[in-house]
């Protein structure tokens, strides 16, 4: 079988106003996340797929994020198969943090990657 390479981008290439989908679990999200990101844990993804399609119905590119890029790669592959313009963020939150990109928490505590 011939699989097309998974579309992916470096953290530096994600626009500051880009649409980020975070597929990490709740405890990872709580520790720190990208401001304005949509949070749908991979474990809930199929059940909550409608939330993503609603949020992305303007045709914006979806930048998929997890901790290091494995879970987000699976979700990106699924989205591309559904005809959605999605890219995997190489290196995930660890790369995001390493590049000094901003992170937030919902409770105001210092953000970190769990």
Percent of the chain with pLDDT over 70: 96
Domain residues for the domain of 33 are 8-104
Domain tally, the chain: 1
Q: Is residue 110 part of a domain?
A: no
Concatenate the DSSP letters of all residues of 34-56 into one string. Answer: -TT-EE--GGGTTTTHHHHHHHT
Q: Is residue 100 part of a domain?
A: yes
Q: Is residue 1 part of a domain?
A: no
Q: Say yes or no to pLDDT of 107 above 80.
A: yes
Two tokens at 105? 């928490």
Q: Say yes or no to pLDDT of 99 above 70.
A: yes
Active site residues: 66
Q: Per-residue pLDDT tens for 8-48? A: 999 999 999 999 999 999 999 999 999 999 999 999 999 99
- 57: Cβ–Cβ under 8 A, 6 or more apart, which residues? none
pLDDT at 58: 87
Q: Is residue 2 part of a domain?
A: no
pLDDT at 4: 65
**CATH number of domain containing 28:** 3.40.250.10
Q: Are strands 38-39 and 62-65 parallel, antiparallel or unpaired?
A: unpaired
Q: What's this model's pTM, rounded to 2 decimal places?
A: 0.94
pLDDT at 55: 93
Residue 48 has φ and ψ, to the nearest 5°, of -110, 15
Give strand pairing partners of 33.
104
Q: Say yes or no to pLDDT of 3 above 80.
A: no
């Amino acid at each position: 079988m011939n699989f097309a390479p998974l579309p992916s981008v470096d953290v530096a290439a994600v626009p500051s106003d880009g649409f980020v989908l975070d597929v990490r679990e709740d405890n990872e999200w709580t520790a720190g996340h990208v401001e304005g990101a949509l949070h749908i844990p991979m474990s809930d993804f199929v059940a909550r797929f409608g939330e993503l399609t609603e949020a992305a119905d303007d045709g914006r590119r979806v930048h998929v994020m997890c901790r290091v890029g494995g879970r987000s790669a699976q979700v990106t592959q699924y989205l591309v198969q559904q005809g959605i313009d999605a890219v995997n963020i190489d290196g995930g939150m660890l790369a995001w943090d390493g590049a000094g990109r901003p992170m937030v928490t919902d409770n105001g505590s210092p953000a970190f990657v769990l």
